[in-house]
Amino acid sequence: MAIAPILWTVWSALVLLTAALFIYRSSLTKNEEDQIFLDDSFNHMKSEQAAILARVNKVQPLLRVALWLVGIATVGVLAYYVVDIFNQFK
């Protein structure tokens, strides 16, 4: 059985996972405000922004791991084809 389809399947699954995490993070941050007035009358906004930030901070480590895995998978796919090219010229 050829390993190339397996490499491409793993790589594409990792890319889809990373894209889904990016989309989820962007949907979380769409309601995030750039400026918050820290007056007592804006405590509800402060708590909403803290909740958004907490959810984004939960997703961020997963996103970093997914990006590293995509990078490793990309290097693996490229290494496979470089080795294949060298084997064809022997």
- Over residues 15-34, the pLDDT tens digits come to 999 999 999 988 888 766 66
Q: How many domains does one find in the chain?
A: 1
Q: Specify the pLDDT at position 28.
A: 84
Domain extent at residue 17: 4-88
Contact 7, 74 (CB under 8 A): no
Given a cut of 90, is residue 51 above it in pLDDT?
no
Q: Specify the pLDDT at position 34.
A: 63
DSSP 42: G
Residue 15 or residue 2, greater confidence: 15
Amino acid at 55: R
Residue in 22, 2, 15 with CA at minimum distance from that of residue 74: 15
- Tell me the pLDDT band of 43, cut-offs 50, 70 and 90: confident
Report the pLDDT averaged over residues 50-63.
Answer: 88
What backbone phi and psi angles, to 5 degrees, belong to 37?
-90, 120
